[in-house]
A = this chain, B = another copy of it.
Amino acid sequence: MKNGKRLTIMERTFKDRGEISYIISPGKDFFPSSMILSREVPAILEEFKNVRAQTVKLCDVLYPEDLVLSTKWYIAHATWFFESYILKPYLKGYGEFNPVFHRLFRFCSEPFPFSRPSVDDIYAYRTYVDAAVEDFIFHPMDEEDLLQIRNLLDMGIHYEAEIQEKILNNVKYNFSLNPLQPPYEKSEPSFQTEKTPLYPLDWVEFSAGLYNIGSSAEEFALDHERPRHTVYLGPFALANRLITNREYLEFIDDGGYRKKELWLCDGWKFLQESERTAPFYWKGEKGEWMQFTLRGLQPLIENEPVSHISYYEAAAFARWSDARLPTEAEWEVCASQENPHLGNFFRSHILQPIALKNQDLKEHKKRMHQLFGDVWEWTESAFLPYPGYRKYEGSAGDYHAKFMSNQMVLRGGSCLTQQMYYRTTYRHFLYPASSLGCSGIRLAKEI
């Protein structure tokens, strides 16, 4: 507390901030004046309540037994975030719901046969923490803490939205292994599935030069999206759309999964061990492929973007295509010129990537298609700290730094992503063998 002055979030006034040069100077200004700083407290509260309610709503159609398989952990883990990073450090006199829960629900906690705490216990935990947070937001707080708290609130809200995507992917995975092949969503899909002509693949060119990528201090962003910094890129081209199931089928039919020369050494080992001969959720065989979706087993739609592809498969496909995957810098340079609000995100409730439609072809005004939503796009960039990266202080700093080895960056969001929390600078990351996220392929090449 500075000068004994205490403010509520509402009372705080905000100074203008100048442009930040690309040569970052982390330190005092590293934590941004969050987006929410310009919003009223009721808006933050509203957002908090919305995102929390959305998680519960997602799980409404599930049985308690469905939740045992990791989902319950995620629900509790998102709650733990608010308790552990906001309530415990900043709410004086806050009494923990259950001290053992910290050990159970923190990052990288040990797995165990997770029947208890029960679903009811988890929801009680949730209600308890929600009430405390909602109450806390109106508390007066030290000026010094204010910025940090708002940032942590934003982080928590965004993290909860991320977890919703994880839950959906986790449910899909478990249901796909279940001999009953149950659907998560029973309603018919709202999109057309008849055969459409393949949208032509073009290359969009970008010239060499200095570019800035990453998130600047003005915007809300997570630690690993910062700081905004300069990169030098040579000239490159990106494909104007995602790779489709039909194109991926050609790769398979050409023996793609049997040609060792197309694969990374680790990728080949992965193929041998997993005995994979097609994308993870594909079932059946040539000519009669089916695909497991959140609406259960469905016929494969040829012009739909291929999804649930591992990095190894994406890299082999790119090599087979005499191309490569984009770097994350290339992707971001391209995406920063587009409107992130257009795309097949979760709110379409299609729950599956969709084919480019005829009218897209006719109008053909856009250079780039499917950059946002549909599938996360694998990049050729490892998930590593940006130059000048600083982890957040306190234990929230464990948030991403801990994962900066062996994983690759994906960009663009998917049909299971909450659009409102999506940012162009967002760095998603997965192990190269992972196919459980809704991930696909956009090609790149030198020019």
Contacts and interface: CB of A to CB of B under 8 A. Distances in A.
Contact of A116 (B24, B66, B446): B66
Interface in A154-202: 173-175, 177-180, 182
A340 interface: no
A327 to B, nearest CB: 7
A114 B63 CA distance: 12
Contact of A67 (B23, B65, B72, B100): B65
A406 B116 contact: no
Q: List the 7 shortest-distance A-B pairs measured between CB atoms, nearest first.
A: A382-B382, A66-B115, A113-B174, A265-B402, A64-B64, A63-B118, A65-B115
Interface in A304-338: 311-312, 315, 324, 327
Contacts of A100: 179-180
A232 B266 CA distance: 31
Interface string A218-242: 0000000000011111111000000
A104 interface: yes
A208 interface: yes
Contact of A234 (B24, B66, B69, B311): B24
Interface stretch (A50-58, A126-134, A384-392, A414-422): A384-392
Interface of A: 23-24, 26, 63-69, 72, 100, 103-104, 107-108, 112-120, 173-175, 177-180, 182, 208, 210, 229-236, 260-261, 263-268, 311-312, 315, 324, 327, 380-382, 384-385, 387-388, 395, 398, 401-406, 408, 432, 446
30 contacts: A23-B234, A63-B64, A65-B115, A65-B116, A66-B116, A67-B115, A68-B115, A108-B265, A112-B178, A112-B179, A113-B173, A113-B174, A113-B177, A115-B178, A116-B178, A117-B180, A210-B210, A229-B232, A230-B232, A230-B234, A231-B231, A231-B232, A264-B403, A264-B405, A265-B402, A265-B403, A267-B405, A388-B446, A405-B408, A405-B432
A327 B387 contact: yes
B388 A380 contact: no
B116 A182 contact: yes
A125 to B, nearest CB: 13
Tell me how many chains of this kind the complex includes: 4
Nearest to A104: B179
Contacts of A380: 384-385
A402 B115 contact: no
A393 to B, nearest CB: 12
A19 to B, nearest CB: 17
Nearest to A264: B405
B446 A26 contact: yes
Contacts of A268: 108
Contacts of A388: 234, 446
A23 B69 CA distance: 51
A388 B236 CA distance: 9
Contacts of A446: 26, 388
Contacts of A401: 264
B64 A264 contact: no
A376 to B, nearest CB: 17
A63 B208 contact: no
Contacts of A179: 100, 103-104, 112
Contacts of A406: 266, 406, 432
B66 A312 contact: no
A72 B233 CA distance: 44
A382 B380 CA distance: 11
Nearest to A98: B180
